[in-house]
Amino acid sequence: MDPQSAIAQVKRAGLFRTQGLIGGKWMDAYDGKTFEVYNPATGEVLANVACMGKKEANDAIASAHAAFTSWSKLTTAERSKLMRKWYDLLIAHQTELGQLITLEQGKPVAEGYNEVLIGASCLEFFLEEVKHCYGDIIPQTQADRRMFVLKQPVGVVGAITPWNLPLAMALRKVSPAMACGCTVVIKPSELTPLSALAVAELALQAGIPPGVFNMVMGFAPEIGDAFLASPKVRAITFTGSTAVGKMLLAGAAQTVKKTSMELGGNAPSMIFDDADLEVTVKGLMIVKFFNCGQTCISPNRILVQEGIHDKFAAALTKAVQTLRVGHGFDEGVTQGPLINQAALHKGAKVLVGGKRHSLGLTFYEPTVLVDVTSDMLISSTEIFGPVLALQRFKTEEEAIHLANDSNAGLAGYIYTENLRRCWRVAEAIEFGIVGVNDGLIPAASAPFGGFKQSGLGREGSKYGLDDFLEIKYLCLGNMV
Ligand code: ADP
């Protein structure tokens, strides 16, 4: 398959959308401006997309606000039924959606198809989970009183999503919000708006009422500011860099909104002398090279105990050499291009890779570095690329100290066959997601979120509804 036939197939399915969606209508930017979306593998322009700003964002907020009254009054069963139709359409169009993801984001098309399933699984989880979202009855404090807790949708939600999983991230945010009765305005990344726009098209086809799901993109700071300034937007949900997240948090204070933030990680993988080498290499390879290392849970600091270090480095290097870099539509490719340049790695020793791939442009060689130390930039910054940086440690205490020596606290991984050590270390490390002898661990049914500066709130699981719900204490007096 080549990019041109993929584009043709997506267009034939009616899923190649380039306008914003406001109040159920596809709209150009009011001043007619557009921006270009590129194929990162070739540098070719894929589409000219409506370049929207404050005015369009405010109209989208107004239509979400108008739709809230009726959407929130539907029963959960009625909302779930519509969302189930949306889910069915996503699955029916898995091929075109997966191809669209590859076109704009670059990942191998098998990963594109898988991303559609990841996104759809969020929708399915929350359209079911919301049916179990109960309130409480509190034992009365006076004989004639009756006391209750109601859970109600917070209102209009502003969602801002990144480019690394452009379809799945959009669905991950809107699924819990819409399931519990909120309406949404979503701003996808300007690097990858097309797959989110296709999701919007399918929402319309599923019969999601106009105004419940709106999408605008273009001038990110203007749209973000419109979300922040509007008292109608009652929650902001964001996935992206810690720097932008902090700005949004500060801005949300103006109107005291709920915020949920999935920010950067700096994940340690802690590999102990008693680890199973095969399990470790397999787990690390899966999560590190998923999406070419461009995820916030990607292991960033590979901490290896000295007894296993050299054996492990050799096995890892061998595994890395089996990866195939190339265009996402080519057979057998496991690593697509990067959206950005890979990270710096000055000072460490390169075992394999370490430079731009011969395909040029945005392609980078899968890389293993050894002799990394804590004072190197690579230990404190998120790499977001296919680079494994190995750092030696001697004792368990030292490993825990190194792992926690970071402002980030999203994901951490432990490899050991010792059950006691596994439990000790898992409790001691300051991370919201801990994987033991396993790689790619996220699931729609599990809570995803960080400690420290990696964010606030949790996505997925029963806890994922909390960011979109208000708790109302209802007290009925003089009841008997
Ligand atoms: P990354 O470095 O992964 O691209 P960003 O935080 O820059 O992370 O981007 C994540 C999302 O945040 C994107 O949709 C981007 O357009 C958006 N964004 C960037 N700057 C702002 C801003 N000032 N206000 C609102 N959204 C923003």
∠ at Cα 283 (436, 104), nearest 5°? 120
| pLDDT attached to residue 346 | 46
Q: What atom of ligand 1 comes closest to residue 245's alpha carbon?
A: 6
Asked if 399 and 316 sit in the same domain, the reply is yes
From atom 14 of ligand 1, which residue's Cα is the shortest distance away?
189
Say if 387 falls within a structural domain: yes
Asked if residue 189 lies in contact with residue 123, where contact means CB atoms within 8 angstroms, the answer is: no
- Is 262 known to be catalytic? yes
Distance 163 CA to ligand 1 centre (A): 9
Q: Whose CA is nearest to atom 11 of ligand 1?
A: 162
Would the CB of 228 count as within 6 Å of ligand 1? no
CATH number of the domain that residue 177 is part of: 3.40.605.10
Could you give the angle at the alpha carbon of 387 between the alpha carbons of 386 and 390, nearest 5°?
145
CB of 220 shorter than 6 A to ligand 1: yes
Residue 89 located in a structural domain = yes
Q: What's 346's domain CATH number? A: 3.40.309.10
110 plus 182 within the same structural domain:
yes
Query: What is the DSSP pairing of strand 267-271 with strand 411-415?
Result: parallel
How open is the CA angle 48-6-197, to the nearest 5 degrees? 45
Q: Is the CB of residue 250 below 6 angstroms from any atom belonging to ligand 1?
A: no
Dihedral sign of CA atoms 368, 371, 376, 380 in order = positive
Q: Which atom of ligand 1 is nearest to the CA of 160?
A: 14
- Asked if the structure places residue 444 within a domain, the reply is no
Residue the block writes with tokens 């008292």 = 231
**Distance between Cα 222 and ligand 1 center (Å):** 11
Q: How many domains does the chain have?
A: 2
Say yes or no: CB of residue 241 within 6 Å of ligand 1: yes
In this structure, the answer to whether residues 347 and 331 fall within a common structural domain is: yes
Ligand 1 atom nearest the C-alpha of 189 is 14
pLDDT in tens for each of the 480 residues of the chain?
Answer: 899 999 999 999 999 999 999 999 999 999 999 999 999 999 999 999 999 999 999 999 999 999 999 999 999 999 999 999 999 999 999 999 999 999 999 999 999 999 999 999 999 999 999 999 999 999 999 999 999 999 999 999 999 999 999 999 999 999 999 999 999 999 999 999 999 999 999 999 999 999 999 999 999 999 999 999 999 999 999 999 999 999 999 999 999 999 999 999 999 999 999 999 999 999 999 999 999 999 999 999 999 999 999 999 999 999 999 999 999 999 999 999 998 544 344 457 788 888 788 887 789 888 888 888 888 888 778 888 899 999 999 999 999 999 999 999 999 999 999 999 999 999 999 999 999 999 999 999 999 999 999 999 999 999 999 999 999 999 999 999
Same domain, 182 and 249: yes
Q: Are residues 50 and 73 in the same domain?
A: yes
CA atoms of 240 and 228, how far apart (whole Å): 16
Q: Which two tokens stand for residue 202?
A: 């399918």
Q: At what angle do helices 94-105 and 3-12 cross, to 10 degrees?
A: 130
Whether 174 and 126 share a structural domain: yes
Cα 330 to ligand 1 centre (Å): 30
Single-letter amino acid code for the residue at 49: V
Q: Are strands 367-370 and 387-393 parallel, antiparallel or unpaired?
A: parallel
Residue with tokens 């593998």: 41
Q: Is residue 106, in this structure, part of any structural domain at all? A: yes
CA of 12 to the centre of ligand 1 (A): 31
Whole-number Å distance between alpha carbons of 119 and 418:
35
> Which range of residues forms the domain containing residue 63?
3-263+454-473
| Residue given tokens 């050299």 in the structure block | 310
Q: Do residue 120 and residue 59 come from a single domain?
A: yes
* Residue nearest to ligand 1 atom 13, measured at CA: 189
431 burial via Cβ count (<10 Å: 0-12, 13-18, 19+): buried
Mark whether 286 and 249 lie in a shared domain. no
| Rounded distance from Cα 300 to ligand 1 centre (Å) | 21
How far apart are the CA of 377 and the centre of ligand 1, in A? 22
CA of 76 to the centre of ligand 1 (A): 32
55 CB-contact burial (10 Å; exposed 0-12 / middle 13-18 / buried 19+): middle
| 244 touches ligand 1 (CB under 6 Å) | yes
| Structural domain includes residue 443 | no
Q: What is the pLDDT at residue 340?
A: 53
How many of the other CB atoms lie within 10 Å of CB of 423? 12
**CA atoms of 16 and 415, how far apart (whole Å):** 44
Contact criterion met (CB below 8 Å) for 74 and 56: no
- DSSP type of residue 218: B
Q: Is 381 in the pocket of ligand 1 (CB under 6 A)?
A: no
pTM of the shown model: 0.96
User: Cα–Cα distance between 184 and 178 in angstroms, integer?
Assistant: 7
**Residue tagged active-site, from 262, 382, 396, 459:** 262
Residue 348's pLDDT is 74
For residue 72 and ligand 1, the question of a CB distance below 6 A is answered with no
pLDDT, position 263: 97
453 lines ligand 1 (CB under 6 A): no
Residues 197 and 226 in one domain: yes
Does 61 fall in a domain? Answer: yes
User: Cα separation of 399 and 394, whole Å?
Assistant: 8
Residues 277 and 253 in one domain: no
192 and 279 housed in the same domain: no
Query: In this structure, is residue 206 part of a structural domain?
Result: yes
User: Is the same domain home to 242 and 362?
Assistant: no
Residue 480 lies in a domain: no
